[in-house]
């Protein structure tokens, strides 16, 4: 199975939510002019979020927390590179090495996934591709993160003013709204369009509905309540 599209048409969070709802297993690969990212999924749950150029590198987190020495980390990466030219996710390499306890590795991978998902919130250009490899990556110490919880936490951080550490060239507010069919109100724009990032567009549907629901229900001619289908 291959699913492909443009991030400007379908946001990263929207695609991730779709894959989770169908309990898909595979790799969601994201790419723009600056960098690449990979989200590892198993039955709709997140195993890891890899953003190679982010400031939240797994090795650095493990060294800083004292779970592995800088020397052992360097030796492990070098040995893996010499053995196989293909660059795999560092978490997989460390699992095979046995240098880090599985529970510590799973905890650090989980922290990295939350941090890197925040980094992905400002990806408004580029492409996404979901593939199911013949030989899937097996995470024996996977945190198995619920996508909805991951998106809720990312939306909370954004709403509290946290921003990705790496800035990206994004359209101005008016240009960003011109390519969107959400038809947001001025009140929504004032609250959720910040620093070139549309929080309303990037956060999941369930989060948007809980953050911003109409005070009065709309009724049809017969007095029945109209249930709006939220913009995806």
pLDDT by residue, tens only, the chain of 232 residues: 578 999 888 889 989 999 999 999 999 999 988 888 999 999 999 999 988 777 678 888 889 888 899 998 888 888 877 776 566 678 778 877 888 888 888 888 899 999 999 989 888 888 999 999 888 777 777 889 999 999 989 888 888 888 887 776 555 555 566 656 566 777 777 766 665 566 655 554 444 444 444 444 545 566 665 444 433 3
Supply the pLDDT for residue 162.
84
pTM of the model: 0.68
- Tokens coding 122: 């400002």
pLDDT at site 229: 40
How is residue 145 written in tokens? 């993160």
Question: In this structure, are residues 133 and 73 in contact, taking their beta carbons and an 8 Å threshold?
Answer: no
Distance (Å, rounded) from C-alpha 227 to C-alpha 225? Answer: 6
Residue 198 within any structural domain of the chain: no
What does the pLDDT look like over 166-221, one tens digit per residue? 776 555 555 566 656 566 777 777 766 665 566 655 554 444 444 444 444 545 56
13, part of any domain: yes
In a domain, 118, yes or no: yes
pLDDT of residue 205: 44
Q: What is the pLDDT of residue 129?
A: 95
At 93, is the secondary structure helix, strand, or coil?
helix
Residue 125 lies in a domain: yes
Q: What is the reported pLDDT for 150?
A: 92
Domain count, the chain: 1
CA-CA-CA-CA torsion for 57, 109, 206, 204, nearest 10 degrees? 30
With respect to residue 175, please indicate whether it lies within any of the assigned structural domains: no
Domain extent for 43: 2-165
Task: Please check whether residue 61 lies inside any domain of the structure.
Answer: yes
Tell me, yes or no, whether 171 lies in a domain: no
């Amino acid at each position: 199975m291959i699913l492909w599209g443009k991030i400007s048409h379908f946001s990263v969070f929207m695609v991730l939510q779709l894959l989770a709802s169908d309990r898909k297993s595979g790799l969601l690969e994201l790419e723009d002019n600056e960098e690449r990212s990979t989200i590892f999924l198993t039955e709709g749950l997140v195993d890891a979020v890899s953003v190679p150029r982010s400031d939240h590198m797994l090795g650095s987190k493990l060294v800083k927390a004292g779970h592995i020495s800088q020397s052992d980390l360097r030796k492990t990466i070098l040995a893996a590179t010499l053995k196989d030219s293909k660059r795999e996710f560092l978490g997989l390499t460390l699992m095979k090495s046995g240098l880090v306890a599985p529970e510590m590795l799973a905890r650090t991978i989980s922290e990295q996934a939350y941090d890197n998902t925040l980094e992905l919130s400002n990806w408004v250009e580029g492409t996404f591709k979901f593939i199911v490899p013949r030989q899937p990556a097996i995470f024996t110490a996977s945190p198995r993160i619920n996508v909805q919880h991951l998106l809720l936490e990312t939306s909370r951080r954004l709403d509290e003013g946290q921003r990705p550490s790496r800035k990206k060239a994004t359209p101005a507010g008016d240009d960003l709204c011109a390519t969107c069919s959400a038809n947001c109100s001025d009140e929504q724009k004032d609250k959720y369009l910040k620093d070139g990032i549309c929080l309303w567009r990037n956060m999941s549907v369930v989060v948007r509905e809980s953050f911003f629901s109409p005070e009065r229900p709309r009724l049809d001619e017969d007095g029945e309540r109209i249930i709006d289908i939220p913009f995806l």
